[in-house]
Chains A and B, each alone.
Chain A
């Protein structure tokens, strides 16, 4: 029996890996490689979730060509994903200085500004992205979130409607739309309570239940919840 088990284990190992020959450890920034190669390396590590390696590869790309807006922007995305907002902003600003028509870099910087609560700058970035690429669903979506975070629900709804006209089957847009309506509902119930004061009729039933639920709901002006509806730039 033991022989069979060992044999099967060997079978499973068979035809598996071979000895990898000629496996020199590459230099961190192999001088024989060009910018595009390192951007490719960086994008793959970024998508595979290894942000440290992605940032190292983009930095290699920038050693080759310090004026590569793509390498700068993508390093910015990776730094942002790592939580290094300051480094990300610096990279994105440099990328946009080199290429003022880099739509995704505007969108990404806008997201960073929303995360920092700087809505005016965020909206300006989304505006810039949408001037260059009017049907950009991600920019419309994120601008709507930025508006909603400032309780500007009408503008948020207009952006989401425009985005849904382009991508009616996009589930993230529908989720954001629902959140905006919830925000609106919370706002209306809040106004009702402000007007009614202590004279809220304690009748129970659906209106009362809904009000209490919405009052507890973090969407009623809780900025932290809106961040969840921000959308990443799609690769």
Chain B
């Protein structure tokens, strides 16, 4: 690939990133302009029961609606909890935050996760998920602050460790990102499982190590961060040697850049790990 192609390709990438930004930001702005609730919220189930029973009912109803993909109805169920039964119900807010996030209304999700944390300062999952919502709005500093707060409250919280690693890499803090991901890996002991699987004398009938496949996610992210770090260095080299840089490095940089702009985008929030407040099933 010659220099002109590189420039052309970079131009296309810049346009695509711009389109992405517009999509995300416009989506968020459109959500902000949503009209107020047109149909009044009716929360008349288990009316003669205790508040605890009513909350329990709407938690169940909301969970099933969420799992059925009926997000507006799920939103109403959790709204019944926080708007009509218990205005300080942290799980109600966090669950509705999950619904808003699924509806891609990240502004409202941030609001609800924030209310959840106000109601229960120990709910680190809400901080983690708010960080993800900030990242979706491309406010990486705010996202980093939330992952930091989650880790201050619970230093071993692996979801926030992995997520902070991703955000740090996006901010160019590669060493810190790698350190967080290595910590997540060693804390989960997924490295022990990997070493066991790679053991040369391992026999076919040896028991398979027990681990949570979700913990393997840290390795995938670590690879992406190393790739981004490598790309950053290649680009530094190419900037310094332009236009006489080694063509092998130009080629490697182009390849990595393509990956980083498409299927391995660190700013794609699908790499972030969300705490789940709404049970599945």
Residues of A at the B interface (CB closer than 8 Å) are: 3-4, 6-8, 10-26, 30, 33-34, 36-45, 47-48, 50, 53, 57
Contact = CB atoms under 8 A, between A and B. Distances in A.
B219 interface: no
A14, A26, A43 — most chain B CB neighbours (10 Å): A14
A45 B64 contact: yes
B276 A40 contact: no
Interface stretch (B144-152, B248-256, B265-273): B265-273
Interface of B: 9, 12-13, 15-16, 19-20, 23-24, 27, 45-46, 49, 53-54, 56-65, 68, 70, 73-74, 77, 101-102, 104, 106, 125, 132, 136, 159, 214, 217, 261-263, 265, 267-276, 279-281
B60 A21 contact: no
Contacts, number: 152
Given A18-B269, A26-B281, A40 B16 contact: no
Given A15-B136, A40-B60, 14 more contacts: A10-B16, A12-B23, A15-B23, A18-B273, A19-B270, A23-B276, A25-B281, A39-B57, A40-B57, A41-B61, A41-B64, A42-B60, A43-B61, A57-B64
A193 to B, nearest CB: 51
A19 B268 contact: no
A62 to B, nearest CB: 14
8 contacts: A10-B20, A14-B267, A15-B104, A21-B276, A25-B280, A37-B57, A39-B45, A40-B61
Given A8-B19, A40-B61, A15 B276 contact: no
A229 B70 CA distance: 29
A98 B218 CA distance: 54
B54 A44 contact: no
Contacts of A48: 64-65, 68, 70, 73
B270 A17 contact: yes
Main DSSP-derived SS at the B contact region: helix
A37 B59 CA distance: 6
Nearest to B28: A15
Contacts of B70: 44, 47-48
A42 B57 CA distance: 10
Contacts of B59: 37, 40
B280 A21 contact: no
Contacts of A36: 46, 49, 53-54, 56-57, 60
Contacts of B60: 33, 36-42, 44, 57
A14 B23 contact: yes
B53 A34 contact: yes
B46 A21 contact: no
